[in-house]
Chain A
Amino acid sequence: MHEIADEHLLANILANNDELAKHNREHFDAENIFAVNFMSAPGAGKTTLLSHLIPHFQKVYHPAVIEGDMVGNLDAERLAVTGAPVFQISTGRSCHLDAQMIARVLHGNDIHNQNNHKPSILFIENVGNLVCPAEFPLGEHRRIVLLSVTEGDDKPLKYPVIFHNADAVVFSKCDLLNHVDFDLENASQYVKNLNANCSVFALSTKQEGSLQPFATWLEQSIEKHQLSKGEYTNVHSHTR
């Protein structure tokens, strides 16, 4: 004899990560830290962009950085020279950061008090990958995806999930536009098709002035966030 029980669960398979992401968000908000998650394919220019953004934000926001890499601390060393506190996460075999890794940094380090300055912005550099980082929210306030012009303007169509989930997309290495067939208009259109609310920027770290619109957008995002604090929407939650 046997009995059958059909248990209707609708349990979120990544619930552990999503709960920890929410927990990280509570840490950030309690400490007045605005957290920004930078994602891209390997080599699109995340570390280089951060090395230019940090000095820009230094005076007012005292940025801190969490550097995610599979192996080594090369990027962390590159950013440490800016004077910003940099926390390295070596993910080992994992091709993305997850909320647990961020929680460990938040619990194990006094990131809230560096050189007598409280950071009010935290840059998180994810592992170079356009697939898995989209699946693991970290508790960040904004998600940025970089797409360098050498990668091709069709990439939003091939990696729709990460572009749909982005708050802003940055087309990087625009100094190289003359050497490649990258149509900025097409690329922007694809991104807007995937997410009409996404902001789009084109810049080059070789042309310092080109970073300004993106830096301004970040500053405005911090201001907006301070007005709407406490609201937490998971990247996947609007489906339900």
Chain B
Amino acid sequence: MPTEASICKIQIGEFRNVDPDSLAFAFDALKSNDPQTQNCQLEIKMISAEAICQSNHHSYHPAEANFYACTICGDGIGKLISGQELEIASIIMETVQIETMDETRKA
């Protein structure tokens, strides 16, 4: 039975150098040549960054407006706990049953 992808969900973190419009453009160019992907919709979810500051372990959103420093104590990023995603979250596949000649006649 033929299957085709109907939705592809992608997550892009704020701390990745990936432009969603460019990705969508490339996706559309690539999918059109393949019957299994030509009807596939791309859903892009942007994930905002969340940092833990180095000295005081505050959780904050590192933003340019605050020079990426901790909004509570001014310390720098100790680690990022989100914002570095670049992944396919899921693909929805549809199994399409093509009506055969026989079935059409029965109906």
Contact = CB atoms under 8 A, between A and B. Distances in A.
B60 to A, nearest CB: 11
Which label, helix, strand, loop or mixed, suits the secondary structure of the B interface? Answer: strand
Given A134-B17, A190-B67, A239 B93 contact: no
B84 interface: yes
Nearest to B92: A6
Nearest to B69: A193
Interface residues of A, number: 34
Contacts of B68: 157, 160, 190, 193-194
B84 A239 contact: yes
A10 B47 CA distance: 14
Given A6-B93, A135-B18, A239-B80, 19 more contacts: A2-B97, A3-B95, A4-B92, A4-B93, A4-B95, A5-B94, A6-B91, A13-B10, A13-B88, A135-B17, A161-B17, A162-B17, A190-B67, A193-B68, A194-B68, A197-B54, A236-B16, A238-B84, A239-B85
Interface string B1-44: 00000100010010111100000000000000000000000000
Interface in B44-97: 53-55, 62, 64, 67-69, 75-97
Contacts of A193: 62, 67-69, 76-77
Nearest to A186: B67
B78 A2 contact: no
B87 A11 contact: yes
B80 A132 contact: no
Given A13-B10, A196-B75, A7 B92 contact: yes
A197 B12 CA distance: 24
A88 interface: no
A147 B10 CA distance: 33
Contacts of B82: 239
Interface residues of B, number: 38
A157 B64 contact: yes
Interface of A: 1-14, 131-132, 134-135, 157, 160-162, 164, 189-190, 192-197, 236, 238-239
Given A12-B87, A192-B76, A161 B93 contact: no
Contacts of B89: 8-10
Contact of B78 (A3, A14, A196): A196
Contact of A239 (B13, B64, B91, B97): B13
A225 B32 CA distance: 48
11 contacts: A2-B94, A5-B92, A11-B87, A135-B18, A164-B15, A164-B80, A196-B55, A236-B86, A239-B83, A239-B84, A239-B85
A27 B49 CA distance: 33
A162 B77 CA distance: 14
Contacts of B15: 160-161, 164
B86 A12 contact: yes
Nearest to A158: B64
A131 B19 CA distance: 11
Contacts of B17: 131-132, 134-135, 161-162
